[in-house]
Amino acid sequence: MKETVHFMISEKDIKKRIQEIAKKIADYYRSKKGKLVLVGILKGSFIFISDLCRKIDLPHEIDFMIVSSYRNGFQSNENVRIIKDLDQNIRKKNIVIVEDVVDSGNTLKKILRVLQSRKPKSIKICTLFSKPSKREVKISIKWIGYSIQDRFIVGYGIDYSQKYRHLPYIGYVL
């Protein structure tokens, strides 16, 4: 059976919201000491972090992790694997984890535990989409693009079984 993608949020609306988030991040870190590093969680965040970093009007660095908790399906599971780790030492740096979607929180819990052990100055979380009804663990998210219902979303870099990342808007799969 082939899934169907239904339109949800336009590219124009997403870009406007990212501009707002970038301004909030820049305002927050403008007076803080220490290097700012955006840590993109791949693969889903690659378009989001690309647009976000170009709108943050402060010097910053970018690094990436690849973390997997989905197994070609709709459900996240607690078996989180780090496939690619950071390339740099984050000790005494201000870290912003840039995530595409936060649902259960299990993936971020593991990422936070790993990154906190490396003694950064601070760690904050920025996500384009939050699904609060799916949360299984308490996670403090500093910047949220959209709080959404429990739907499996695609587009703007977010996939379903490696499909639909190319869509310039957000849709949901049925």
HSE-up of residue 53 (Cα within 13 Å, Cβ side): 20
Instruction: List, by residue number, the catalytic residues.
Output: 103
Name the helix (H) or strand (E) containing 63: strand 61-70
Among residues 154, 147, 149, 76, the alpha carbon closest in space to that of 109 is found at 76
Chain mean position to CA 84: 16
Q: How many Å apart are CA 124 and CA 65, to the nearest integer? A: 16
**What totals of helices (H) and strands (E) does the chain contain, helices first?**
3, 9
Among residues 13, 2, 15, 8, the alpha carbon closest in space to that of 153 is found at 8
Tokens (6 digits) for 91: 């000790």
Q: Which residues contact 71 (CB under 8 A, 6 or more apart)?
A: 77
